[in-house]
Amino acid sequence: MQTCIDMYRTRTCGELNIANVGETVTLAGWVQKARKMGGMTFVDIRDRYGITQIVFNEDINTELCGQANKLGREWVIQVTGKVAERSSKNKNIPTGEIEIIADKLEILNVAEVPPFTIEDNTDGGDDLRMQYRYLDLRRNCVRSNLELRHKIAFEIRRFLDEQHFLEVETPVLIKSTPEGARDFVVPSRMNPGQFYALPQSPQQFKQLLMVAGFDRYFQIVKCFRDEDLRADRQPEFTQIDCEMSFVEQEDVLNIFEAMIKHIFKYVKGIDFKDPFPRMTWHECMRLYGSDKPDMRFGMTFVELKDLTEGHGFSVFDNAKIVVGICAEGCAEYTRKQLDQLTDFVKKPQVGAKGLVYVKYEKDGSFKSSVDKFYAQEDLKKWADRFNAKPGDLMLILCGDDVNKTRKQMNELRLEMGERLGLRDKNKFAPLWVIDFPLFEWSEEDSRFYAMHHPFTSPKTEDIQYLDSDPGRVRANAYDLAMNGVELGGGSIRIHDSKLQNKMFQLLGFTPEKAMDQFGCLINAFKYGAPPHGGLAFGLDRVVSMLAGLDSIRDCIAFPKNNAGRDVMIDSPSAIDEAQLKELCLKINL
Amino acid sequence: MQTCIDMYRTRTCGELNIANVGETVTLAGWVQKARKMGGMTFVDIRDRYGITQIVFNEDINTELCGQANKLGREWVIQVTGKVAERSSKNKNIPTGEIEIIADKLEILNVAEVPPFTIEDNTDGGDDLRMQYRYLDLRRNCVRSNLELRHKIAFEIRRFLDEQHFLEVETPVLIKSTPEGARDFVVPSRMNPGQFYALPQSPQQFKQLLMVAGFDRYFQIVKCFRDEDLRADRQPEFTQIDCEMSFVEQEDVLNIFEAMIKHIFKYVKGIDFKDPFPRMTWHECMRLYGSDKPDMRFGMTFVELKDLTEGHGFSVFDNAKIVVGICAEGCAEYTRKQLDQLTDFVKKPQVGAKGLVYVKYEKDGSFKSSVDKFYAQEDLKKWADRFNAKPGDLMLILCGDDVNKTRKQMNELRLEMGERLGLRDKNKFAPLWVIDFPLFEWSEEDSRFYAMHHPFTSPKTEDIQYLDSDPGRVRANAYDLAMNGVELGGGSIRIHDSKLQNKMFQLLGFTPEKAMDQFGCLINAFKYGAPPHGGLAFGLDRVVSMLAGLDSIRDCIAFPKNNAGRDVMIDSPSAIDEAQLKELCLKINL
């Protein structure tokens, strides 16, 4: 690949090979390393495309070699010379068979010694690398994540353009809505005392575009949420935001399944041949205790309540649910290993009271922490339900709160998957989670909230339960999970004003409050809203997934830390008194 | 083109023609109009792709026809029927040869009567259309601007991707810099009393990416400026932001000239065969009185000071510059027309004191407003310099301030171009304006400012004048002008720390102030900055240019008005006292 011919170079540092031997070339880049060996000086020059070895020979050009000996790490140089075959070849890099015999060396810029090494295995810690992010980005492993991000965004656009989607930019300075997560706000100088808000998502605008007849909309767009940050959250993040008209859930799922397959194919060379599996939310909770199950491995939940009852083990007898997983081939786990698992489930983040294990020994016998209460033949019945074989280990939790216990079991399942090496980063297991409940009960506020948002449509066949049993109503809402991560989700929206008013009422909005918050959309719906629906993917999460990263931070060029600070540019920061005055604001600490 | 097959439709309203006759199809869309003619009812159904005529026959299906008769404008319907050839064909639309004989009609949604007609020639005024922008966007002429915008952005990305540019998202929550235009700021809840700023451009970040070795960067990105708004400004606007390493001005101009040509070719089918002309800033000012001259027509400036002197006309004698243009074939302008032109130049927005005209009559004689002072043979000399022919009209201004007078002349030239129909919206005349001055003298502050920004590099050969004659120093800075509009501009940056320090000093920055504002970049430059440069285009302006629009507002989906308000969503607005408190802010009107 001949890449960039610019004034300062005829070739890049990643493209020369044995076929170029004899050519005179000019390269420009950074000094990766320089070493003197006898009368020869070898300099590795690096750019975005690769590394090429330059040779200076003291006998042939003493002055030039003298210059080369002065070069420091990360100096910016320009070298002209002839491509030659190397005597000792490096098969690990594409340019490893050649070197450049230097004729000319120009120092374009000097550099101080960087605070950490510019290598995949750097000696720099997290904080230092964030402070000098511009140096961190020189590292191959960091830059390649951003190259991948570029490629993914490009392929998404190519796919959606072919499907007649229009990318429409919606405004960044919008209106604050008090419900939901906290908005970032922007004081308006021209409208004193008033504020814009930064969008948490372009939800209302994309629905307005459907009312406007735009039919198929998408946008790769920055969104903002003023939340206390966790490891996998950033105050600004990027969404692949999509909406379609005249569609049902099936249309949306099909198009975006095809989009995800397109990305994997064109970016990773991975072909998903089969349709993505689908599972209802209730089934997900029952089998995995999670609405984003990691489908790379089995270990689905098995419920045992009926088999455990009436044996005098009050812990199980008093529980609402007894649920377990079967860890294949783990019967040989030591006391210590089992204790570790018990400690794991008892961590406050998991919150179980204890763990029951049953070892299905190789000889067919059972050994368990509840041997006192259950005979061998009882445990055999459990094992049969688990489909366990001799050599397997059954891990069992119980509790009063069915959902809570399942979530604890989910944590244990993921931990076991980790321990057993079943969470391979090169394996990708997608799952459409469908039929989400429409409402979520809040114990704290003793009321229902919309699980997705107030515009999500209930399933037609469940509308009958809206009044009598709201908790039973399923929504036309769906998520795409992959490897235990929610990549995106969406819903078919309500397009009928009467049903929308009913929803507002059920969610405790007075008509005035609904108008105040969603007035624009409610009005727009009076003028002919088509049936529509859509979804949004987290681009940061999609990139992290394909890059095999643990944190979205690693695929963001200039991320913020957990205090929402950019330590590199030192932001946020104080502003001038004069500017505050112009904005009619006072700080009140 | 078979477009979208969704649950609600098998075809769109823009694709059926004579070849589809006999097919049974289902369409969904909005009622454009419905009319009853005898026993037949004709309904035009509209979607993003076009309009199709539906026919209901009272004799064949009375009930269905009765339903159709109840349809109102903008109702959302779904129709199934058979494609038939029309008896009276409409050759103006692609679907004009067919109609659908309706079998089934489903009303998907009713609509109130819209406040204005959904037609290219609507009866809705500006304010009303902005308030109901979601209805305005249904109009073909508005939607097509946004379709064009999508296509332009897509082609830009396709071109730059092929040229190995990486699109990198830079942060939206950045650091406020007091210099330059006013920033929008965002209070940080997690860092009380501190603020983020929204970027006016990603300038520092793109230069940091060059330090990071990213080589070829671009981004189509929202930028923000809290300015008092003019017709062609929006508080948020979109930039095509680009930067390259190891390049000189020539590289940048070549790549981005190719990009603009690519857009015109793939979006408009226009092939620019010749290289874009280039002109120095000084030449532009001398010939056009503008750094973004409209090159669709001639009428370049002619200077006459030497020819006008010593004839007793003190106005010219006392002026520093006497400058004119020649309007071909306008010698027959009436007294009234000439008075209009005089009024035009005397408008406060133009600011000239008066206008001198010389008519070169068809018979070879001259008639002018300064006949008293100048003989026929004097005026002949002027005419020769203008290259005027009998029948032409010379229009002359003079003044003390050369630049001011040229700017006035520029306004008159554009006005004459308009009057003479020389500003054809289907003609595109690009011009690279190069060699901008590095500094701009501010009379008000009695100091030099950077014309572009403090990182713009001076021409090597002019560095010698930095101290002695800063006003003479030319920069490696360039703009792309087209049809009198600045589409974009940029510069080669300084990559040498010493020269950068010199620049800061000349611009009156103390080292402390420079560090405070640009510390991150100054530090980054210590670690090996490559030679680099770039530019940014205004996407809104590029789209407006290709769409032939007068205002960028027309190519923005949800624009703000001149008070920075979105009248549709009613933003900005007041926020909760509780939220202000969380942000440690008080409003102080």
pLDDT in tens, B447-490: 888 888 899 999 999 999 999 999 999 999 999 999 999 999 99
> Would you give the DSSP letter of residue B112?
P
Distance separating alpha carbons of residues B317 and B302, to the nearest angstrom = 17
Percentages helix, strand, coil for chain B (3-state, rounded to 5) are: 30, 25, 40
Residue A1: per-residue pLDDT: 46
CA atoms within a 13 Å half-sphere pointing along the CA-CB vector of B362:
4
**d(CA A146, nearest CA chain B) in Å:** 7
CB contact under 8 A, B566 and A171: yes
Given A110, A187, A213, which is nearest B185 (Cβ)? A187
B365 pLDDT tier (thresholds 50, 70, 90) = very high
CB contact under 8 A, A579 and B178: yes
Q: Are strands A321-327 and A393-399 parallel, antiparallel or unpaired?
A: antiparallel
**d(CA A144, nearest CA chain B) in Å:** 11
Given B157, B191, B565, which is nearest A563 (Cβ)? B191
Say what angle helices B511-524 and B497-506 make with each other, to 10 degrees: 150
Instruction: Determine the residue type at B44.
Output: D
CB contact under 8 A, B236 and A195: no
Residues 6+ apart with CB under 8 A from A449: A439, A440, A441, A442, A507
CB B15 within 8 A of CB B2: yes
Chain B CB contacts of A133 below 8 Å: 208, 212
Which residue in chain B is spatially nearest to A569 when comparing CA positions?
Answer: B520
**d(CA B582, nearest CA chain A) in Å:** 10
CB contact under 8 A, B571 and A197: yes
Q: What mean pLDDT do residues B92-100 have?
A: 96
Given A187, A560, A568, which is nearest B520 (Cβ)? A568
Task: Tell whether A332 is within 8 A of chain B (Cβ).
Answer: no
Distance separating alpha carbons of residues A226 and A209, to the nearest angstrom = 26
Which A positions 535-554 lie with beta carbon below 8 A of chain B? none
pLDDT tens-digit map of B262-308: 999 999 999 999 999 999 999 999 999 999 999 999 999 999 999 99
Given A30, A49, A205, which is nearest B528 (Cβ)? A30
Chain B CB contacts of A134 below 8 Å: 208-209, 211-212, 524, 527
pLDDT value at B318 more than 70? yes
Chain A CB contacts of B198 below 8 Å: 172, 186
Least confident of A1-5, A54-58, B246-250: A1-5
Distance separating alpha carbons of residues A45 and A43, to the nearest angstrom = 6
Task: Tell whether B244 is within 8 A of chain A (Cβ).
Answer: yes
Residue A532: per-residue pLDDT: 98
Q: What is the overall mean pLDDT for chain A?
A: 95
Three-state secondary-structure class, residue B363: coil
Q: What mean pLDDT do residues A96-115 have?
A: 97
Q: What mean pLDDT do residues B336-344 have?
A: 97
pLDDT value at A2 more than 60? no
Three-state secondary-structure class, residue A481: strand
Least confident of A221-235, A359-373, B388-402, B411-425: A221-235
Residue B282: per-residue pLDDT: 97
Which residue in chain A is spatially nearest to B529 when comparing CA positions?
Answer: A109
The dihedral built from the CA positions of residue A86, A90, A93 and A94, taken in this order, carries a sign that is positive
CB contact under 8 A, B520 and A570: yes
**d(CA A345, nearest CA chain B) in Å:** 32
pLDDT value at B49 more than 80? yes
Alpha helices (runs of H) in B311-401, residue ranges in sequence order: 314-318, 335-346, 376-386
Instruction: Determine the residue type at A279.
Output: M
CB contact under 8 A, A173 and B184: yes
Q: What mean pLDDT do residues B500-504 have?
A: 92
Task: Tell whether B32 is within 8 A of chain A (Cβ).
Answer: no
Q: What mean pLDDT do residues A316-345 have?
A: 97
Query: Mutation test of the interface with chain B: which of A575, A586, A589, choosing the one with the most B Cβ atoms within 10 A?
Result: A575
Residue A363 has a CB neighbour count (10 Å cut-off) of 7
Residue A259: per-residue pLDDT: 98
Domains of chain B: 18-109 (2.40.50.140), 143-279+430-555 (3.30.930.10), 297-419 (3.30.1360.30)
CB A456 within 8 A of CB A476: yes
Residue in the block written with tokens 């509840």: A370
Given B176, B198, B530, which is nearest A575 (Cβ)? B176
Query: Mutation test of the interface with chain B: which of A108, A196, A518, choosing the one with the most B Cβ atoms within 10 A?
Result: A196
CB contact under 8 A, A189 and B182: yes
Task: Tell whether A571 is within 8 A of chain B (Cβ).
Answer: yes
Query: Mutation test of the interface with chain A: which of B5, B6, B515, choosing the one with the most A Cβ atoms within 10 A?
Result: B6
| Segments of B382-484 assigned E as strands | 393-399, 430-434, 439-442, 447-450, 477-482
Given A147, A216, A528, which is nearest B166 (Cβ)? A147
Distance separating alpha carbons of residues A276 and A433, to the nearest angstrom = 10
B3 pLDDT tier (thresholds 50, 70, 90) = low
pLDDT value at B253 more than 90? yes
Three-state secondary-structure class, residue B82: strand
Q: What mean pLDDT do residues A269-295 have?
A: 97
Three-state secondary-structure class, residue B31: strand
CB contact under 8 A, A6 and B222: no
Three-state secondary-structure class, residue A338: helix
B1 pLDDT tier (thresholds 50, 70, 90) = very low
- The helix (run of H) or strand (run of E) holding residue A195 is strand A195-197
Given B167, B569, B579, which is nearest A150 (Cβ)? B167
B231 pLDDT tier (thresholds 50, 70, 90) = low
Task: Tell whether A11 is within 8 A of chain B (Cβ).
Answer: no
Which residue in chain A is spatially nearest to B192 when comparing CA positions?
Answer: A589
Q: Which of A546, A542, A427, A478 has the alpha carbon at shortest distance from A255?
A: A478
Distances B194 to A573, B176, B188, B189, B383 between C-alpha atoms, Å? 5, 10, 6, 8, 65
Q: How many residues does chain B have?
A: 589
Query: Mutation test of the interface with chain B: which of A108, A186, A500, choosing the one with the most B Cβ atoms within 10 A?
Result: A186
The pLDDT > 90 percentage for chain A reads 91
Task: Tell whether A147 is within 8 A of chain B (Cβ).
Answer: yes
Q: What mean pLDDT do residues B517-537 have?
A: 95
Query: A204: which 2 tokens?
Result: 């209302």
Chain B CB contacts of A197 below 8 Å: 571, 575
Given B147, B168, B194, which is nearest A146 (Cβ)? B168
Alpha helices (runs of H) in B477-510, residue ranges in sequence order: 497-506
Task: Tell whether A119 is within 8 A of chain B (Cβ).
Answer: no
CB contact under 8 A, B224 and A172: yes
Chain B CB contacts of A211 below 8 Å: 134
**d(CA B469, nearest CA chain A) in Å:** 27
Chain A CB contacts of B245 below 8 Å: 6
Which residue in chain A is spatially nearest to B518 when comparing CA positions?
Answer: A569
Q: What mean pLDDT do residues A214-241 have?
A: 92
Task: Tell whether B589 is within 8 A of chain A (Cβ).
Answer: yes
Distance separating alpha carbons of residues A488 and A482, to the nearest angstrom = 10
Distance separating alpha carbons of residues A529 and B168, to the nearest angstrom = 36
Q: What mean pLDDT do residues A530-549 have?
A: 97
Whole-prediction pTM: 0.96
Which B positions 44-73 lie with beta carbon below 8 A of chain A? 46-49
CB contact under 8 A, A557 and B190: no
Given A110, A183, A572, which is nearest B194 (Cβ)? A572
Q: What is the overall mean pLDDT for chain B?
A: 95
Chain B CB contacts of A171 below 8 Å: 236, 558, 560, 566
> Would you give the DSSP letter of residue A457?
P
Which residue in chain A is spatially nearest to B134 when comparing CA positions?
Answer: A212
CB A439 within 8 A of CB A473: yes
How far is C-alpha A2 from the chain's CA centre? 34
Q: What mean pLDDT do residues A522-540 have?
A: 97
- End-to-end Cα, chain A, rounded Å: 58
